[in-house]
Amino acid sequence: MERSEFGLRRLTIVVAVCFIALPVLVMVSMTYKNSTFNLSKEFAAEAMVLREKTKNVTRLSTVTESENNSFQPTSLVADKLLGGLLASALDEGSCISRYHSSMYHKTSPYKPSLYLLSKLRKYENRHKRCGPYTKSYIKAVKELNSSHANRTTGCNYIVWLPANVLGNRIVSLASAFLYALLTNRVLLVHHGTDMDDLFCEPFPNTSWLLPADFPLKNQFDSFKMRNIHSHGNLLKNNNMSSSTMLQQPAFLLLYLAYDYEDHDKLFYQDQNQGFLRKVPWLILKSGQYFVPSLFSISTFRKELSILFPDRETVFHHLGRYLFHPSNKAWGLITRFYQAYFEKADERIGLQIRLFHPESSPSHLVMKQILSCTEKENLLPQLDKQKHVALASPFKNQTLKAILVASLHSIYYENLRNMYWMKPTVNGEAIGVYQPSHEEYQQFGDNMHNVKAWAEMYMLSMTDVLVTSTWSTFGYVAQGLGGLKPWILFIPDNQTIPDPPCQRAMSMEPCFHYPPSYDRKANMMLDNVDHGPHIRHCEDVSWGLKLVNNDHKS
């Protein structure tokens, strides 16, 4: 009986406990489910935020510093819009390099001015309104047949024509764009078939390419265009003055190539800019970086100082805004980078261009390169007493990649053999690479230009850069990369110059033939005040380049 009562009590307790526990278990289960649901929502929200952030930030990493105080961009926050230079309304797939280039460069310490950013956005709107095949463009083209300017469209144009090799074309195209910014014109580019597949379209939802049916195309290289329709010739026929001209023509040629005449140089006189503003179409032919002389024109000087408070950043900002490698060129660049640059602790660029090979034999140039790099401690030194580096190859070994850009392979082969035969003093691992060696300049060859453009861009990714005298190839690389290179001087009478190279005073390109230089007499004109921000170039004694005001000559 007692056992029966005890069993009944136990059963009652178990039932009671189950009755109490069941709701608790249900509540716990529901809480767990709700908790899981809430966590999923939070994760989804964070993922959405992260996706939004990665639209503007493409890469996170950590900054490391090497013994020579140069830093490796293996983990910087990539500035996708380049400090605001780029508009964010363009299709990434059509031009991968536009928003991915920041992953392959160190973040630039040079920030564009707010005024420049505003000016670029206004230009983009103007180009979209006045660009090819818009109503304004079609109307402006029809007015080209008039003997004088009608100016009824509200849109003025500057058409850029190519001259010289690719480096010259790039620096002159940047100059033409700056002139378009200053004069509220629309830039249209006639680049020919040998510049296909080099650059992406730089302006949103429009094209900078001159339409194939432009009516003056067949006159671009004609005697008539140069000698009748040029601005210089017009001034020459009017006693070098625009004040005697009653009507502005519908179009004019600005001939600013290296062989321009004195009357062509009158473009740089301030009093002629007012006349040019009233000409709807300007056709510009130039292979020169004429930006320094724009700073000498009082009409533009104040606005230029606001656009570029840091004078030596003009090409750096305009070049990164305008020149984005096409997907074809970007493929060449990124494959090289991933194979040879990506894991390197330091990247060293050597750009070697010989304009007079007969006076600069390869053994002398090689000796000069080594003299320069040894004196400036740019290349790792060899340990000529040993055959094996003492440093362990598996512990803290520094990897340095040397990129050689030259038409000839002999310099690459010499450097490669040099670092193969002997170890370095500090035990670095050295890789020497040359993407191409075309042996000679190939004019009119599109693929040659694609390779050249890719190599300019790869040089701009280096930490240290050595370039050649006179070379616009080197100018483009240093400007895009924000680098002040060491410039190799031309050997004199088969003798290595002393010093063999010199650090550039600024990263700006050199204007080889400014209007103050008389090419026929081979002399500078006297009493020309270029202002505090313009100096003679290191590599061209009569050339001009922009520098910061605090630069000490």
Question: Given a cut of 90, is residue 254 above it in pLDDT?
Answer: yes
Please report the pLDDT score of residue 65 as a whole number.
Answer: 30
Please report the pLDDT score of residue 194 as a whole number.
Answer: 86
Question: Given a cut of 70, is residue 437 above it in pLDDT?
Answer: yes
- 121 vs 551, residue with greater confidence: 121
CA distance 548 to 553: 11
CA distance 210 to 268: 26
Extract the tokens encoding 313.
């950043």
Please report the pLDDT score of residue 529 as a whole number.
Answer: 67
3-state secondary structure of 320: helix
Kindly state the average pLDDT of the residues 178-190: 98
Count Cβ neighbours within 10 Å for each residue of 113-142 and write b for 16 or more, e otherwise. beebbebbeebbebbeebbbebebbeebbe
CA distance 478 to 347: 14
Please report the pLDDT score of residue 389 as a whole number.
Answer: 65
Q: What's 252's DSSP letter?
A: E
Q: What is the pTM of this model?
A: 0.83
Residue type, 470: W
Q: Pick 341-546's CATH classification: 1.10.10, 2.60.60, 3.40.50, 1.25.40.
A: 3.40.50
DSSP 135-180: HHHHHHHHGGGSSS----SS-EEEEEE--SSHHHHHHHHHHHHHHH
Q: What torsion do the CA atoms of 145, 148, 153, 157 make, to the nearest 10 degrees?
A: 80
Residue among 461, 127, 191 at smallest CA distance from 320 = 461
Residue type, 105: H
Per-domain residue ranges for the chain?
A: 114-307, 341-546
Question: Given a cut of 90, is residue 6 above it in pLDDT?
Answer: no
CA distance 475 to 463: 15
Extract the tokens encoding 31.
């809480």
Which pLDDT band, with edges at 50, 70 and 90, does 145 fall under? Answer: confident
